[in-house]
Structure formats: C-alpha cells, structure tokens
Amino acid sequence: MNFLANLGRHSSAWIWLLLSAFSLEVAALYFQYGMELRPCIMCIYQRTAVFGILFAALLPLLNNNIISRLLAYVLWGVSAVWGLVIALEHVEIQGAKNSFFATCEIVPNFPSWAPLHEWLPNIFAATGDCGDIDWSLLGLSMPQWMAIIFAIYSVVLAVVILCKLINKKAR
C-alpha cells in the first residue's frame, strides 16, 4: 500500500505513464497514415484525451513537487474519464441499428483559443465517419479497445489516490 501511495514521487511511474500515452499516440498515427484509416471526430477527441494523459505525466517529470503532482493527477483524471465517456459514446454510435440518426460532427469543437484541428491538421483533423468500423482486434473495435484503455487509466489513478488516502488516514 505504501508503494502505491508513494508512486507519484518517483519519476519512473510518470515515465511509464508518459510512455504508455506516447505509444498510443504513435499507434494512432500509424493507423491513420500507415494503414490509411481515417479518424472521425470521436477518434480525434479520444486522441486529445490521450494527449491530456501524456501532458499530465510530463508535469511531474519537469518538476516533481506536490503542486505538479496534484495538477498531474487532476489532468490525468479528467482526461481518462473524458476519454472513457467519448469512447463509450463512440461505441454506442457504432452499435446503432440506424446509423443515419447516429452520427457525429464533422468539424472538431475545440475552443476558439485552441483550434487544434487548424494548428495541427495532420493530427487533429477529422476525416472519417464515426459509424464506420474499419479495424478490429479479438472481435473488439477501436473505440471498444479505447474504452478499455481509458477505464484502465481511470482505475489505476483511482487505486493510487485511494492508497494515498488510506495511507494518510493510517498515519
């Protein structure tokens, strides 16, 4: 329990978080450019959530103190839960019997102060249809895998925070 409670103090834990998110981003770009799978708006939002987790891991790696760790935990949690919600919504769209009514936006709805799809269109421009299932592994579509991945990120964060709280209460 102590190990998990103090995990955030060690840069190796943040490096693993960073590497996992970075690997997912590289995989997304491989799917997009190597396999020529066009990302839809929901894919782009999930990609943005993974970038949030990546940036969360960077904060304590740059300066590991209580404030950077707190900000990292918050950014990690918001990104993981938001990514999970988007992935589950994407799964629902793909599973809709009448895909005519189950559609998604074409242009990303990023804030006006951060139009990522305009700044980095090669990464954040949506060109696909949310209802298309162009790839699967072990019978699960990409949004289903992303829901599992975001759930894992959320559970790991919850376990770490729970261990911190239990450890603090035991003192």
Which residues are marked as active site? 40, 43, 47, 104, 130
Phi first, then psi: what are they for 39, rounded to 5°? Answer: -75, 140
Measured CA to CA, the distance from residue 52 to residue 61 in angstroms comes to 15
Could you tell me which residues come within 8 angstroms of residue 149 by beta carbon, excluding any fewer than 6 positions away? Answer: 24, 83, 87
Measured CA to CA, the distance from residue 24 to residue 139 in angstroms comes to 19
Q: Of the candidates 74, 89, 83, which has an alpha carbon nearest to the alpha carbon of residue 48?
A: 83
Q: By the 8 A CB rule, do 46 and 89 touch?
A: no
Measured CA to CA, the distance from residue 102 to residue 17 in angstroms comes to 34
